[in-house]
Chain A
């Protein structure tokens, strides 16, 4: 049953990939709708099959194709895989639904068919990565995922920024694949098989190499600082639904990879946990601090993804630390926190990216300083974005809170870790973790406030109107999921058969609702009911103007100053004067420059080193046929000698 459903879903997704390619030159809406419908149907199938596996807890193994004795195209769907399949399914279905309408509003005529095709291929690749039963097919589909996502990022290739982002993304994602491949090969050398089997040798140096390679590979893909730079480039460059898919799902595939290898292959050391925890905490704090500074709405969401991936890695790191300290219960709890946060982040981040896409298509700008006043103009979109903002700010009773709560509980329970020094480290990380979630609340107050509230700050924003219905239903489903996963978190865990120390959010929500209703009723009976809409105090001006408003930049200014050491902003002031005592001002320039620390000090030196190496290597490739023939000849001779000696 499950195997058939899975194969059917794969076939439908494949059809969704092929069909628009066949009709590539037909610029018809129907072509794209059919392709996207295929994605929706396949997602529903995948979602139902993963729910079946999640609830029953049985894993399914099946082999489709045996090419070599060492390698077969086989799949396994266990609880972990089905959980991530569920994430893919829900987000893909909603994104595809949104895409059916969104794609008709973007440029590119028949090129849009290719966009549909690539989207299907991308989703297909992600599904196959998660379901892969051996490391080699895992890697192959990982590459397919990387390649298809590169084409998606490059959709608007005519723009310079997009090309730059695309190349950046391509290099980072290939680096990631390289490291993953290295890890897989090291594992193969040690065990002689490509299967996800536990290692027998506990802590050989090679195991550490394999872990580090895989960790770096997955970190690059997940956007862990310092490998994060591709996210804020690639997300604004690609179409919004693609950003939603990449941020909501693709980053989780990297999380899946890490968790899969940690659980099935390795027996982790304590310091691995510390490494993952440190990387996670640093990403979480720095990610949200950079997000606060960002005024490109999609760039801001990209940085916030870095933060959330940091939170997920924090949970995984804690889990590894607890496993190594022989505290299996706590390890399970923090891993559950990390996985639940993966699910929640997928929901609210794709919701936010989709609604941000609606906003961008309505206002034709990505800069939040030119938005404002959209709440009355786009009431449903603003309500949906609001749900996402409350979720991501980890406020009760929505889902972001539920998963961060689990990680908080794990931190608070770290008392039982034996080593006192570790306790202090964990408390320090706890403080940073708390800072992260408080800053994300500040960040999303700024985002929602600047985009939707007050007066419009540009004519485009003033003329914006609500998007078509299909672009509301997709995010609407995601918003409903956010609410459901938060309010019923405890009940959902109970259905899956897990007991977690979550508070009963349903009770808390009911209490909140009850208190609000009581307050309203009390006011209704005892207070005045008069309401007037009239100009309020505007500093003595006759009527309020958008230019006098508090802008997004102004909003984050206090935090900018407090964290100025991290932002490394340089204020350059040059003034000239008429007189020698610098009294009479002549003219001058002022500039605030944001130093891109990671690019200046990490990426650029590495890139320059690679370039100089490449220059040396390129001498071998002079384009002359004779030289190449010489290479072949030398190689053949070398091989013959080699074989003659050793064979």
Chain B
């Protein structure tokens, strides 16, 4: 492992942790705007996290060790997954870091623990959230893998680093195929980060929530970790989309100025995408749970279409 790569690990982790709460707040701000409210400050998520860190943790007497390790494992898995998607600086990949399948399964590892923690306290809400989350994640999986296969097909590599290096080298706006893949990636982003129309991140009404239900029993610093890891996951998936479609600003050389510019450009691009997500969420209502499979089927056919176009062209 060379010096560049170690530096990359540090930079990427710091940037993703620092930026991700901002994007969460931005989406909320945009949504509040569309509803004619002023909304909380864009730094509200940071304040909430700090407040949560200061609070005590309460464990249910029924809960086991799963409840205690889940926040740590989730955070670690998401942070390692975040290393697979360079936000600002693309180094040479080492030892399979950046592999797109491993990336997907690291997210699955976090979800596995979260779902178990949801069941752990024995409350019916937690179980409901876990059950729905695992069901949704299972039926979106074929779409996700086909989109990733299409990416691998287009770029002739399985490594996200290599894909980004390619897009960064051309620097041009995306090809039509990539835009098609981008739409599928956007649907995956919406599903994976539990947003409308799949899930509603705002509500705490037990019957409608999925992700929030699963982490209902978390409190204090553990809850802060869960919130932060969800934010990081969203940022990473956003970065995957952004850096593939609009690679502008992504740097492959390690210079201070280059990184600084890249960070600023990434924040701008990310803010725009956050705005789009906010508008997208505001423009539709949450779908009924059992209507979701048809939505996913649509996304599936869409991404299969891309592959078929690619294969036969």
CA distance A560 to B84 in the complex (A): 34
Cβ proximity bits A436-447 to B, threshold 8 Å, 1 near / 0 not? 011101100110
**Contact check: which of A432, A448, A523, A527 meets B142 at CB < 8 Å?**
A432
Q: Are A445 and B57 in contact (CB under 8 A)?
A: no
Q: Are B146 and A430 in contact (CB under 8 A)?
A: yes
Cβ proximity bits B92-133 to A, threshold 8 Å, 1 near / 0 not? 001111010110011011011001100111111111101110
Cβ proximity bits B127-151 to A, threshold 8 Å, 1 near / 0 not? 1101110110111011111100100
Q: How many residues of B contact A (CB 8 A)?
A: 84
**Contact check: which of B83, B106, B121 meets A536 at CB < 8 Å?**
B121
Task: Collect the chain B residues with CB atoms within 8 Å of residue A408's CB.
Answer: 101
Task: Collect the chain B residues with CB atoms within 8 Å of residue A520's CB.
Answer: 72
B66 sits at the interface (CB 8 A)? yes
Task: Collect the chain B residues with CB atoms within 8 Å of residue A504's CB.
Answer: 94-97
CA distance A437 to B95 in the complex (A): 24
Q: Are A544 and B134 in contact (CB under 8 A)?
A: no
A577 sits at the interface (CB 8 A)? no
Task: Collect the chain A residues with CB atoms within 8 Å of residue B128's CB.
Answer: 550, 554
Q: Are B131 and A516 in contact (CB under 8 A)?
A: no
With both beta carbons as reference points, the residue of chain A lying nearest to B296 in the complex is identified as A562
Cβ proximity bits A523-542 to B, threshold 8 Å, 1 near / 0 not? 10011101111111111000
Q: Are A453 and B290 in contact (CB under 8 A)?
A: no
CA distance A382 to B120 in the complex (A): 13
With both beta carbons as reference points, the residue of chain B lying nearest to A432 in the complex is identified as B142
With both beta carbons as reference points, the residue of chain B lying nearest to A396 in the complex is identified as B105
B8 sits at the interface (CB 8 A)? no
B262 sits at the interface (CB 8 A)? no
Within 8 A of B (CB), among A478-534: 501-504, 507-508, 511-513, 515-516, 519-520, 523, 526-528, 530-534
B259 sits at the interface (CB 8 A)? no
CA distance A35 to B119 in the complex (A): 43
Cβ proximity bits A383-407 to B, threshold 8 Å, 1 near / 0 not? 0000000100111100001000100
**Contact check: which of B119, B153, B158, B224 meets A550 at CB < 8 Å?**
B119
B244 nearest CB across to chain A (Å): 17
A449 sits at the interface (CB 8 A)? yes
A101 sits at the interface (CB 8 A)? no
With both beta carbons as reference points, the residue of chain B lying nearest to A382 in the complex is identified as B64
* Known A401-B105, A528-B221, A532-B57; contact A550-B149, beta-carbon cutoff 8 A: no
**Contact check: which of A508, A519, A548 meets B225 at CB < 8 Å?**
A519
* Known A512-B77, A558-B132; contact A445-B142, beta-carbon cutoff 8 A: no
CA distance A412 to B143 in the complex (A): 14
Task: Collect the chain B residues with CB atoms within 8 Å of residue A556's CB.
Answer: 131
Q: Are A420 and B311 in contact (CB under 8 A)?
A: yes
* Known A527-B53, A528-B221; contact A442-B135, beta-carbon cutoff 8 A: yes
Q: Are B131 and A554 in contact (CB under 8 A)?
A: yes
A597 sits at the interface (CB 8 A)? no
* Known A435-B138, A519-B72, A557-B131; contact A536-B144, beta-carbon cutoff 8 A: no
**Contact check: which of B94, B112, B158, B219 meets A390 at CB < 8 Å?**
B112
Task: Collect the chain A residues with CB atoms within 8 Å of residue B227's CB.
Answer: none
CA distance A59 to B260 in the complex (A): 60
* Known A395-B112, A527-B221, A536-B217; contact A453-B311, beta-carbon cutoff 8 A: no
A573 nearest CB across to chain B (Å): 19
A435 nearest CB across to chain B (Å): 5
Q: Are B105 and A555 in contact (CB under 8 A)?
A: no
CA distance A534 to B9 in the complex (A): 39
**Contact check: which of A435, A515, A561 meets B76 at CB < 8 Å?**
A515
**Contact check: which of A405, A438, A454 meets B62 at CB < 8 Å?**
A454
Cβ proximity bits B203-247 to A, threshold 8 Å, 1 near / 0 not? 000000000000011011100110000000000000000000000
* The stretch of B25-33, B164-172, B300-308 that contacts the partner chain: B300-308
* Known A411-B149, A544-B123; contact A508-B58, beta-carbon cutoff 8 A: no
A408 nearest CB across to chain B (Å): 5
A455 nearest CB across to chain B (Å): 5
Q: Are B75 and A516 in contact (CB under 8 A)?
A: yes
Query: Interface size bucket, A side?
Result: 35 or more
**Contact check: which of A448, A455, A512, A559 meets B122 at CB < 8 Å?**
A455
A549 sits at the interface (CB 8 A)? yes
CA distance A512 to B105 in the complex (A): 13
A546 sits at the interface (CB 8 A)? yes
With both beta carbons as reference points, the residue of chain B lying nearest to A556 in the complex is identified as B131
Task: Collect the chain A residues with CB atoms within 8 Å of residue B135's CB.
Answer: 442, 558-559, 562
B102 nearest CB across to chain A (Å): 5
CA distance A449 to B116 in the complex (A): 6
Task: Collect the chain B residues with CB atoms within 8 Å of residue A52's CB.
Answer: none
Q: Are A375 and B65 in contact (CB under 8 A)?
A: yes
**Contact check: which of A393, A519, A539, A562 meets B123 at CB < 8 Å?**
A539
CA distance A536 to B304 in the complex (A): 45
* Known A394-B105, A511-B83, A557-B131; contact A528-B62, beta-carbon cutoff 8 A: no
A381 nearest CB across to chain B (Å): 13
With both beta carbons as reference points, the residue of chain A lying nearest to B98 in the complex is identified as A503
Within 8 A of B (CB), among A423-465: 423-424, 427-428, 430-435, 437-439, 441-442, 445-446, 448-450, 452-455
B43 sits at the interface (CB 8 A)? no
B83 nearest CB across to chain A (Å): 7
B152 sits at the interface (CB 8 A)? yes
CA distance A554 to B135 in the complex (A): 12
Task: Collect the chain A residues with CB atoms within 8 Å of residue B99's CB.
Answer: 503
Q: Are B96 and A536 in contact (CB under 8 A)?
A: no
CA distance A566 to B95 in the complex (A): 41
CA distance A585 to B156 in the complex (A): 65
Within 8 A of A (CB), among B48-83: 53-66, 72-73, 75-77, 79-80, 83
Q: Are B116 and A445 in contact (CB under 8 A)?
A: yes
Q: Are A550 and B126 in contact (CB under 8 A)?
A: yes
A41 sits at the interface (CB 8 A)? no
Q: Are B130 and A512 in contact (CB under 8 A)?
A: no
CA distance A523 to B105 in the complex (A): 26
Q: Are A438 and B137 in contact (CB under 8 A)?
A: yes
Q: Are A395 and B97 in contact (CB under 8 A)?
A: no
A505 nearest CB across to chain B (Å): 8
Q: Are B131 and A558 in contact (CB under 8 A)?
A: yes
CA distance A442 to B62 in the complex (A): 22
CA distance A511 to B9 in the complex (A): 10
CA distance A79 to B231 in the complex (A): 49
CA distance A544 to B61 in the complex (A): 10
Q: Are B96 and A503 in contact (CB under 8 A)?
A: yes
Q: Are B121 and A454 in contact (CB under 8 A)?
A: yes
Q: Are A528 and B56 in contact (CB under 8 A)?
A: yes
Within 8 A of B (CB), among A555-576: 555-559, 561-562
With both beta carbons as reference points, the residue of chain A lying nearest to B304 in the complex is identified as A427
A415 sits at the interface (CB 8 A)? yes
A268 sits at the interface (CB 8 A)? no
CA distance A532 to B220 in the complex (A): 11
**Contact check: which of B56, B96, B119, B143 meets A449 at CB < 8 Å?**
B119
Q: Are A539 and B124 in contact (CB under 8 A)?
A: yes
**Contact check: which of B62, B108, B112, B153 meets A373 at CB < 8 Å?**
B62
Q: Are B105 and A536 in contact (CB under 8 A)?
A: no
A57 sits at the interface (CB 8 A)? no
Q: Are A508 and B102 in contact (CB under 8 A)?
A: yes
Task: Collect the chain A residues with CB atoms within 8 Å of residue B108's CB.
Answer: 393, 395, 438, 441
Q: Are A395 and B109 in contact (CB under 8 A)?
A: yes
In the assembled complex, 22 residue pairs joining A and B whose CB atoms fall closer than 8 Å, in A order, are A375-B66, A395-B108, A412-B101, A412-B158, A415-B156, A420-B312, A424-B311, A427-B146, A427-B304, A431-B304, A438-B141, A449-B115, A455-B62, A501-B96, A503-B102, A511-B9, A512-B80, A537-B123, A544-B123, A549-B122, A554-B128, A558-B135
16 additional A-B residue pairs with CB within 8 Å, beyond A396-B105, A439-B138, A503-B99: A409-B101, A427-B304, A431-B142, A431-B145, A434-B142, A435-B142, A445-B112, A449-B120, A453-B120, A503-B102, A507-B95, A515-B76, A515-B79, A535-B61, A539-B125, A562-B290
Which 5 A-B residue pairings sit nearest by Cβ, starting from the closest? A503-B96, A550-B127, A454-B122, A504-B95, A530-B56
